[in-house]
């Protein structure tokens, strides 16, 4: 049975999420709330976006909106800093602002469900699928072509959601 | 594309032609694509689409039959490479191109080990055996030198007959007698199913594929 996330179960979870969204270092958050650094990191990467999305839809809507707004505010702020740094030619600050803005965009993308970081496996190019497919084609080969055509038609209907 | 659509295309070359290549085959082409016999005679006029149809058959074979060999043979290297170019052109139409381990002017090898090789017939008879599909194209050789074209087709039957499962003979025999002779030559070397296509004067569209006597009759009707 998988172990529950100690941050999700934490009574001050909302404060922890806020600290994570604001970009506070993991070590500091872990120390402040009596957690392990790895638990905080795992919570941010695996549970925070899901939590915010879920919260947006149900009873924690207000909290989630608050967190979303904070991310948006951070993004606005980062872009302001970038603009100011560019005006005075402070390239180091500008690069840091770009980096922060990119991180904000990633987080917003996750919240909007636009970034899916789960690995995608295309089974259609796998050797196993090629072997299965070749076997089916070979077995049906000796039968009249109408048989293969009928199966093919049914499969197309299945693909189109008509079965 | 999902697994169901992929399997549907593997099972039916007409579906493959429509869905993967974006081409709509004519009725006679659909019958050729669904042909499951051992020998097929495609006696079509120029520009009727016989080379494209043959190229679809070749491409489908190598895509869905791992480890197979498809031979494209003609009396000359130029004709063989023309047909091979058709295959590569169709390959480029695929949304997801298969990984090729070899791709040159005369042959290609897929990661699955399947190969398409184009050759003049003289080399093929010496070097290759065990092809799952042999496609030969005499082009308009029957019109120029019918005897030479017949000898070429007969030579292929005898020279590359080691384990070949299916053969497709393309080309244009202009006169009904020539078509009969072609059929006789090809049928005389085995009992595999033979399908004769209708032959037309240049520029006219092909309209059908027939078994046995129907092909000659349509041919005769058209020319008369």
The answer to whether A44 and A76 have CB atoms below 8 angstroms apart is: no
Angle at B18 between CA B1 and CA A142, to 5 degrees: 90
Q: How distant, in Å, are the alpha carbons of B171, B197, B198, B208 from that of B42? A: 7, 5, 8, 11
The complex scores an ipTM of 0.74
Q: Which stretch of DSSP H or E encloses residue B120?
A: strand B115-120
How many whole angstroms separate alpha carbon A77 and alpha carbon A93? Answer: 13
Interface touch B10/A133, C-beta < 8 Å: yes
Mean pLDDT value of segment B20-37: 88
Predicted local distance difference test score (pLDDT) of residue B56: 95
Of B5, B11, B112, the CB nearest to A137: B11
Residues of A in contact with B2 (CB under 8 A): 159
How many whole angstroms separate alpha carbon A122 and alpha carbon A36? Answer: 36
Residues of B in contact with A153 (CB under 8 A): 8, 12, 15
Indicate if the pLDDT at residue B107 is higher than 60. yes
Q: Give the pLDDT confidence of A26-39 residue by residue, as tens digits.
A: 888 888 898 888 88
Of B3, B8, B64, the CB nearest to A156: B8
Pairing mode, strands B69-74 and B115-120: parallel
Residues of A in contact with B6 (CB under 8 A): 124, 129, 133
Q: Is the dihedral of CA B207, B211, B214, B218 positive or negative?
A: positive
Least confident of A88-102, A119-133, A139-153, B116-130: B116-130
Residues of B in contact with A151 (CB under 8 A): 8, 11
Residues of B in contact with A145 (CB under 8 A): 12, 34-36
Interface touch B11/A134, C-beta < 8 Å: no
The answer to whether B163 and B131 have CB atoms below 8 angstroms apart is: yes
Predicted TM-score of the model (pTM) = 0.61
Of B1, B35, B64, the CB nearest to A133: B64
Within 10 A of A13 (CB to CB), how many other CB atoms are there?
A: 18
Q: Give the pLDDT confidence of B110-122 residue by residue, as tens digits.
A: 988 999 998 876 6
- Greater model confidence, B76 or B108: B108
- Provide the shortest C-alpha distance from residue A80 to chain B (in Å): 43
Interface touch B7/A156, C-beta < 8 Å: no
Which residue, B190, B20, B112, B88, is CA-closest to A131?
B112
By three-state DSSP, how is residue B201 classified?
A: coil
How many whole angstroms separate alpha carbon A30 and alpha carbon B133? Answer: 67
Which residue, B121, B134, B158, is CA-closest to B38?
B134
Tokens 């006169």, located at residue? B175
Would you place residue A20 in the very low, low, confident or very high pLDDT band (cuts 50, 70, 90)?
Answer: confident
């Amino acid at each position: 049975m998988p172990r529950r996330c100690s941050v999700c179960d934490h009574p001050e979870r909302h404060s922890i999420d806020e600290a994570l969204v604001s970009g506070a270092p993991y070590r500091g958050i872990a120390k402040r709330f009596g957690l392990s650094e790895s638990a905080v990191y795992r919570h941010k990467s695996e549970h925070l976006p899901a939590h915010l999305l879920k919260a947006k839809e149900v009873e924690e809507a207000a909290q989630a909106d608050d967190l979303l707004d904070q991310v948006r505010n951070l993004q606005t702020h980062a872009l302001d800093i970038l603009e100011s740094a560019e005006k005075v030619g402070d390239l180091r600050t500008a690069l840091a602002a770009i980096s922060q803005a990119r991180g904000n965009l990633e987080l917003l993308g996750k919240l909007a469900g636009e970034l899916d970081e789960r690995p995608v496996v295309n089974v259609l190019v796998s050797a196993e699928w090629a072997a299965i497919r070749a076997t089916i084609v070979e077995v049906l080969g000796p039968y009249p072509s109408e048989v293969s055509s009928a199966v093919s038609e049914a499969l197309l209907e299945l693909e189109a959601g008509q079965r | 594309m999902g697994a169901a659509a992929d399997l549907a295309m593997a099972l039916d070359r007409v579906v493959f032609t429509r869905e993967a290549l974006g081409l709509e085959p004519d009725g006679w082409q659909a019958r050729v694509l669904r042909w499951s016999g051992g020998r097929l005679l495609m006696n079509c006029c120029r520009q009727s689409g016989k080379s494209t149809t043959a190229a679809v058959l070749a491409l489908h074979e190598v895509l869905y039959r791992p480890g197979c060999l498809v031979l494209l043979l003609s009396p000359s290297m130029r004709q063989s490479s023309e047909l091979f170019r058709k295959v590569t052109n169709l390959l480029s139409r695929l949304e997801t191109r298969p990984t090729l381990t070899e791709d040159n002017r005369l042959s290609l090898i897929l990661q699955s080990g399947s190969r398409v090789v184009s050759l003049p017939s003289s080399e093929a008879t010496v070097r290759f055996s065990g092809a799952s599909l042999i496609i030969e194209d005499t082009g308009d050789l029957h019109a120029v030198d019918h005897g030479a074209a017949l000898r070429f087709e007969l030579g292929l039957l005898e020279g590359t007959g080691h384990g070949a499962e299916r053969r497709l003979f393309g080309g244009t025999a202009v006169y009904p007698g020539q078509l009969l002779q072609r059929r006789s030559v090809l049928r005389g070397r085995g009992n595999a199913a033979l399908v004769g296509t209708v032959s037309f004067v240049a520029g006219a569209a092909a309209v059908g594929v027939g078994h046995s006597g129907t092909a000659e009759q349509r041919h005769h009707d058209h020319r008369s």
